Amino acid sequence: MVKPVLLPTDVAFLSSLLLVGLYFWAVRRDLLMRERWRTVLATPTGGAAALILCLYVAVAGLDCLRVEINGETKSLLDYLVSPLREHVETTYSAPFAAYGYAREVIPGASGAARQDYPRLRYGARHLAQPSRQMHADVLRRGMAGAGLGLLFLGGLLALVNRLRGRPLAGMFTPLTESTWRLQWLTAASICLALGWVICLAPYYHVLGTDKVGNDVLYLTLKSIRTGLVLGVVSSFITLPLAVIFGIPAGYFGGWIDDLVQYLYTTFSSVPGVLLIASAALSLDLLLQQHASAFPSLLARADMKLLALCLVLGLTGWTGLCRLLRADVMKLRVAEFVTAARALGTPPLKILLQHLLPNTFHLILITTVLDFSGLVLAEAVLTYVDIGVDPSMESWGNMINGARLELAREPAVWWSLLAAFCGMLGLVLAANLFADAMRDAFDPKLRGATSPSSS
Amino acid sequence: MLIVLSAGQAYGALTEPWNAPYPLGARGSSVLFSTFQERPKHLDPASSYSENEALFTGQVYEPPLQYHFLKRPYTLAPLTAEAVPSPVYLDAQGRMLPADAPDQDIKRAVYRLKIRPGIRFAPHPAFARDAAGRARYHTLTRAEIDHFGALENFPYTGTRELTAADYVYEIARLAHPHLHSPILGVMGRYILGLDVLAKRLRSEDFAEDAYLDLRQFELPGARVIDRYTFEITLAEKYPQFVFWLAMSFFAPVPWEADAFYAQPGMAAHNLSLDWHPVGTGPYRLRENNPNRRMVLVRNPDFHDERYPSEGEASDAARGFLKRAGARLPFIDEVDFMLEREEIPEWNKFLQGYYDSSGVAPDGFDQAIRFNVDGQPELTPVMAARHIVLNVATQPSISYLGFNMLDSVVGGESARARLLRQAIAVAVDIEEMISIFGNGRGVPAQGPLPPGIFGHREGAAGINPVVYEWKDGRAQRRPLTQAQALLREAGYPAGVDPTTGHPLVLYFDATTTGPDMKSLFNWYRKQFAKLGIELVIRTTDYNRFQDKMKKGQAQIFSWGWNADYPDPENFLFLLYGPHSKVSTDGENATNYANPAFDALFRQMRSLPDGAVRQAVIDRLLTLVRYDCPWIWGFHPQAYSLQHAWVGNAKPNTMARNGLKYRSIDPTLRVAQQREWNQPVTRVLLWAGGFAVAGLIPALVGQYRRRRATAL
Amino acid sequence: MTYLIRRILYAVPILLGVNVITFVLFFVVNSPDNMARMHLGQRYVTEQAIENWKHVHGYDLPRLWNPEAAGTGHVTRTIFYQNSVRLFMLDFGRSDGGRDIGFDIRQRMVPSLSIAVPVLIIELFLSVAFGLAVALLRGSYLDRWITLLCVAGMSISSLFFIIAGQYLVARVWRLAPISGYAGGLESVKFLVLPVFVQVISGLGANVRWNRTVFLEEVSRDYVRTAWAKGLTESGVLSRHILRNALLPLLTTIVVTLPGLFLGSLITESFFAIPGLGSYTIDAIQSQDFAIVRAMVFLGSLLYIVGLMLTDISYAWADPRVRLAET
Amino acid sequence: MSLLEIQDLIIEVGRAGAPAQVVAGLNLCVERGSTTVLVGESGSGKSMSALGIVRLLPRAARIKGGAVLLEGQDLLRISEAAMCDVRGARIGFVFQEPQDALNPVMRVGDQIGEVLTRHRGLRGLARRTRVVELLEAVGIPEAGQRLNGYPHQFSGGMKQRVMLAIALAGEPDLLIADAPTTALDVSTQAQILTLLRSEQQQRGMGMLFITHDLAVAHQVADTLAVMQAGRLVEIGSHADIFERPTHPYTQHLLRVSPRIQPDLAPPPLPVEAEPLLIARGLCVRFPGRRGLFGRIITQVTAVDNVDLIVHGGETVAIVGESGSGKTTLGRGLLRLLQVDAGSVNFGGREFFELDRKALRQARRDIQVVFQDPFSSMNPRLTVREIIEEGMTAQGLGGSRQGREQRVARLLEQVGLEAASIARFPHEFSGGQRQRICIARALAVEPKLLVCDEPTSALDVSVQAQILTLLRTLQQEMGLAYLFITHNLGVVAQIAHRVVVMHQGRIVESGPTQTVLFKPTHPYTQSLLAAVPRLP
Query: Does residue B132 share a domain with residue B106?
Result: yes
- pLDDT value of position D90: 93
Tell me the range of A112-121, A155-164, C142-151, D437-446 where mean pLDDT is highest: D437-446
What pLDDT does residue C73 have? 66
pLDDT at A445: 41
Domain assignment of residue B510, yes or no? yes
**How far is the C-alpha of A5 from the C-alpha of A144, rounded, in Å?**
36
Chain A CB within 8 Å of residue D440 CB: yes
pLDDT classification of D292: cutoffs 50, 70, 90: very low
Same domain, B271 and B338: no
Mark out the alpha helices in A333-413 (DSSP H runs).
335-342, 347-349, 356-383, 395-406
Which range of A408-422, B242-256, B507-521 scores highest in mean pLDDT? It is B242-256
Summarize the confidence of residues C251-272 as an average pLDDT. 81
What is residue B165's predicted lDDT score, i.e. its pLDDT?
94
| CA D49 to chain CA centroid, nearest Å | 21
Domain boundaries, chain C: 2-89, 110-317
Nearest to A345 among D366, D370, D393 (CB): D393
* pLDDT over 70 at A450, yes or no: no
Residues B241 and B315 in one domain: no
Cis ω for the linkage preceding A130 (within 30 of 0): no
- Mean pLDDT confidence for C257-262: 77
Per-residue confidence (pLDDT) for residue A446, from 0 to 100: 40
C206-220 pLDDT tens trace:
888 888 888 888 888
Interface contact flag, A401 B516, Cβ < 8 Å: no
Out of A30, A338, A447, name the one closest to residue D424 (CB): A30
Residue in chain B nearest A298 by alpha carbon: B535
Q: Are B217 and B26 in contact (CB under 8 A)?
A: no
Tell whether B82 is covered by a domain.
Answer: yes
Residues B654-669: what's their mean pLDDT? Answer: 90
Same domain, B471 and B618: yes
Using beta carbons and an 8 Å cutoff, which residues of A are at the interface with D? 30-33, 179, 334-336, 338-346, 349, 353-354, 357-358, 360, 446-454
- B185 contact residues in C (CB cutoff 8 A): 44
- Nearest Cα neighbor of A200 from A94, A84, A85 is A84
For B223, the 3-state DSSP assignment is strand
- The pLDDT score that the predictor gives to residue B536 is 82
Please report the domains of chain A, with CATH numbers, ordered by start residue.
Answer: 2-101+130-200 (no CATH), 223-432 (1.10.3720.10)
Whether C133 and chain B come into contact, CB under 8 Å, resolves to yes
Q: Is C6 on the interface with D (CB under 8 A)?
A: yes
- A302 pLDDT exceeds 50? yes
The span from the CA of D535 to the CA of A340, in Å, is: 43
Residues A29-84: tens digit of each pLDDT: 777 778 888 888 888 888 899 999 999 999 999 999 988 887 678 888 998 888 88
Say whether pLDDT at D237 is over 50: yes
State residue D285's pLDDT score: 87
| CA dist., res. B99 & res. B242, Å (int) | 15
Q: Do A275 and C223 touch (CB under 8 A)?
A: no
Residue B321 lies in a domain: yes
In one-letter notation, the amino acid at residue C68 is: E
Q: What is the pLDDT of residue B205?
A: 63
CA distance B278 to B284: 7
B686 and B674 share one domain:
no
The pTM assigned to this predicted structure is: 0.83
Closest residue of chain C to B206, computed from CA coordinates = C52
Mean pLDDT lowest for which of B506-520, B668-682, C292-306, D252-266?
A: B506-520
Q: Write the pLDDT tens digit of every residue in B25-83.
A: 666 788 999 998 887 888 999 888 777 888 899 999 999 999 999 987 788 999 999 99
Give D394→chain A minimum CA distance, Å.
7
Same domain, B561 and B706: no
Which has the higher per-residue pLDDT, A127 or C97? A127
D166 touches chain C (CB under 8 A): yes
Residues of C in contact with A384 (CB under 8 A): 265-266, 281, 284-285
Same domain, B321 and B438: no
Distance of residue C251 Cα from the nearest chain D Cα, in angstroms: 16
**What is the average per-residue pLDDT within B512-523?**
72
Checking if the pLDDT of D523 tops 60, the result is: yes
Is the backbone of residue D503 left (phi > 0), alpha (psi -120 to 50) or beta?
Answer: left
| Residues of chain C contacting residue B679, judged by C-beta atoms under 8 Å apart | 172-175
- The amino acid occupying position B83 is A
B53 within domain boundaries: yes
B10-19, B353-362, B684-693, D53-62, range with the lowest pLDDT = B10-19
Q: Average model confidence (pLDDT) for chain B?
A: 87
| D425-479 pLDDT, tens digit each | 888 888 899 999 999 999 998 999 999 988 888 888 889 899 999 999 998 888 8
Cβ contacts below 8 Å, chain A against chain D, sum to 105
Q: What CATH number is attached to the domain comprising B196?
A: 3.90.76.10
In a domain, B571, yes or no: yes
Nearest alpha carbon to residue B168 among B142, B139, B192:
B192
Residue B206 has pLDDT above 70, yes or no: no
Could A450 and D437 be called an inter-chain contact, meaning their C-beta atoms sit closer than 8 Å?
A: no
Are D100 and C139 within 8 A, CB to CB?
A: no
Dihedral sign for Cα B690, B692, B698, B704, please: negative
Say yes or no to pLDDT of C55 above 80: no
Chains in contact with A via at least 3 Cβ–Cβ pairs below 8 Å = B, C, D
State the DSSP H helix or E strand holding residue A431, giving kind and residue range, or none if neither.
helix A414-441
Cβ pair B299, B281 in contact under 8 A: yes
Give the pairing of strands B629-641 and B645-646.
unpaired
Provide the chain A residues 123-142 that lie in CB contact (below 8 A) with chain C: none
Residue B584 makes CB contacts below 8 A (sequence gap 6+) with: B185, B549, C44
Instruction: Assign residue B556 the CATH number of its domain.
Output: 3.10.105.10
In a domain, B586, yes or no: yes
Distance (Å, whole) CA D113 – CA D119:
10
Among B207, B682, B704, whose Cβ lies nearest the Cβ of C173? Answer: B682
Instruction: Give the CA distances from residue D332 to residues B71, B519, D279, D328, in Å, rounded to whole numbers and listed in that order.
Output: 101, 73, 10, 6
Quote the minimal CA–CA distance from A345 to chain D in Å: 5
Average pLDDT over chain A reads: 84
User: Which residues of C, range 248-277, sit inside 8 Å of B by Cβ?
Assistant: 269, 272, 274
Neighbouring CB atoms inside 10 A of B291's CB total: 18
Boundaries of domain holding B692: 680-710
Q: Is the pLDDT of residue B6 over 60?
A: no
* B47 neighbors B181 (Cβ within 8 angstroms): yes
Is C324 in CB contact (< 8 Å) with chain D? yes
Residue, of B616 and B74, whose pLDDT is higher? B616
Asked if A407 and B435 come within 8 Å (Cβ–Cβ), the reply is no
Interface test with D, best of A336, A450, A453 (most D CBs within 10 A): A336
The full DSSP string for B519-538 is: HHHHHHHHHHTTT-EEEEEE
Shortest Cα–Cα distance, C221 to chain A (Å):
8
Q: How far is D48 from chain A (nearest CA, A)?
A: 12
B239 shares a domain with B224: yes
Its ipTM equals 0.81
Is the per-residue pLDDT at A111 higher than 60?
Answer: no
Residue B234 has pLDDT above 90, yes or no: yes
CA–CA separation, B520 and C266 (whole Å)? 26
Instruction: List, in sequence order, every beta strand (DSSP E) within D16-89.
Output: 20-30, 35-40, 62-70, 73-74
**Contacting residues of B for D63, CB less than 8 Å apart:** 709-710
Q: What is the pLDDT of residue B3?
A: 53
Q: Are D156 and D182 in contact (CB under 8 A)?
A: no
Q: Which of A37, A177, A330, A343 to mutate to test the interface with D (most CBs of D within 10 A)?
A: A343
Considering only CB atoms, which residues of chain A are within 8 Å of chain B?
71, 90-91, 101-105, 112-115, 210-212, 214, 285, 288, 291, 295-297, 300, 382, 385, 389-391, 397, 400-401, 403-405, 407-409, 451-454
- With a cut of 90, say whether residue A171 has pLDDT above it: no
Q: Kindly report the CATH number that applies to the domain delimited by C110-317.
A: 1.10.3720.10
pLDDT at B119 over 90: yes
Interface contact flag, A406 C304, Cβ < 8 Å: no
Indicate whether B251 pLDDT > 80: yes
pLDDT in the model for residue A453: 35
Chains that touch C (3 or more CB pairs under 8 A): A, B, D
- Bigger pLDDT: D210 or B680? D210
Tell me the pLDDT band of B397, cut-offs 50, 70 and 90.
very high
Nearest CA in chain D to A354: D378
Q: What angle do CA B217, B221, B223 make, to 5 degrees?
A: 70
Distance separating alpha carbons of residues D172 and D208, to the nearest angstrom = 12
Q: Residues B30, B132: one domain?
A: no
Residue B305 pLDDT: 92
Q: For residue D80, which residues of chain A lie inside 8 Å, CB to CB?
A: 451, 453
Give the C:D interface size as CB pairs under 8 Å: 87
The more confident residue out of D244 and B439 is: D244
C199 in contact with B, Cβ within 8 Å: yes
Does residue B331 share a domain with residue B415? no
**Which chain A residues are within 8 Å of B540, Cβ to Cβ?**
285
Q: What is the pLDDT at residue C30?
A: 67
- Is there a domain that residue B473 lies in? yes
Residues B367 and B423 in one domain: no
Q: Which amino acid is at B150?
A: A
pLDDT, tens only, A386-429: 788 877 889 988 888 887 788 777 788 899 999 999 999 999 99
* pLDDT at residue B550 is higher than 60: yes
Distance between CA atoms of B257 and B321, rounded to whole angstroms? 38
CA gap B483, C316 in Å, rounded: 79
Nearest CA to D4 out of D81, D64, D90 is that of D90
Question: CB of A201 within 8 A of CB of A83?
Answer: yes
Whether residue A421 contacts residue C192, with contact meaning beta carbons closer than 8 Å, is answered with no
CA-CA distance, B26 to C186, in Å (whole number)? 13
How far does A30 lie from chain D, in Å, by closest CA? 7
Sheet containing D206-211: which strands, arranged edge to edge? D91-94, D174-178, D206-211, D35-40, D223-228, D231-237
Q: Are B376 and B428 part of one and the same domain?
A: no
Tell me the CA distances in angstroms from D261 to B447, D216, D257, D314, one per residue in order. Answer: 115, 17, 12, 20
**pLDDT confidence of residue B185:** 78
What is the predicted pLDDT for the residue at A181? 78
Mean pLDDT, range A83-102, rounded to an integer: 86
Residue (of A334, A438, A352, A356) closest to A36 by Cα position:
A438
Greater confidence (A454 vs C6) lies with C6
Could you give the domains of chain D?
4-256 (3.40.50.300), 275-529 (3.40.50.300)
B539 in any annotated domain: yes
A8, exposed or middle or buried, with CB in 10 Å at 0-12, 13-18, 19+? middle
**Per-residue pLDDT tens over the stretch B252-282:** 999 999 999 988 888 888 888 888 999 999 9
- To the nearest whole number, what is the mean pLDDT of chain C? 80
The Cα B76–Cα B578 span in angstroms is: 27
pLDDT tens per residue across span A247-261: 999 999 888 998 998
The candidate with the shortest Cα–Cα distance to B221, out of B212, B210, B230, is B230
